[in-house]
Amino acid sequence: MERTGPGLDPYTLRAVVELEVALEAGVAVDAAHAVVGDLALAAFGPGVFGAIGEALAEEGRPADEWAVLLADDALADRVLGRLHERTGDDAGEGELVWSAYPPGSSPGREGFRRAVRRRRENALTAAVLPRRHRVAGRRRRD
């Protein structure tokens, strides 16, 4: 099966690591996190974030200190090699993932843009208005 999209390369790994380090530092990177997270899942498959921690632990490094991958290229290459091995092992397994959309569909760019445009409005509304009570069942439409 031929892959399309992002590759299993050092640049993809570096983008994932840089973003996670920025998130730990408290930098606001909401949109970038969504894009790079999808890129990582497409390139390395489900469970990539746990796999990076496991690869670091196998190298004798703390599993939650990803910043060492930015400083040590040799370590990053070894971790990338472990991710390659893992991806080859998981190629036959079809892992199930939770998704808000049916298989083969997505909200597309327009849905993403709409969510970004309405983020501020929705945050203000949520801060001002009380929460609606959830009731089981459906609303009747007349």
Identify which has the larger pLDDT, 15 or 140: 15
> For residue 14, what are the contacts with CB-CB under 8 A and spacing of at least 6?
69, 70, 76
Mean pLDDT computed over 81-108: 65
> For residue 43, what are the contacts with CB-CB under 8 A and spacing of at least 6?
5, 6, 7, 8, 9, 12
Statement: residue 87 has pLDDT above 60 = yes
Statement: residue 104 has pLDDT above 70 = no
> For residue 58, what are the contacts with CB-CB under 8 A and spacing of at least 6?
82
Q: Which amino acid is at 95?
A: E
Task: Tell me what pLDDT residue 3 has.
Answer: 44
Domain ranges of the chain: 10-102
> For residue 15, what are the contacts with CB-CB under 8 A and spacing of at least 6?
36, 39, 40
Looking at residue 8, the DSSP 8-state letter turns out to be S
pLDDT level of residue 49 (50, 70, 90 thresholds): confident
Mean pLDDT computed over 111-134: 78
Identify which has the larger pLDDT, 48 or 5: 48
Percentage of the chain modeled with pLDDT above 90: 0
Dump pLDDT digits (tens) for 51-65: 888 888 888 888 888
The model carries a pTM of: 0.54
Dump pLDDT digits (tens) for 2-26: 444 456 778 888 888 888 888 888 8
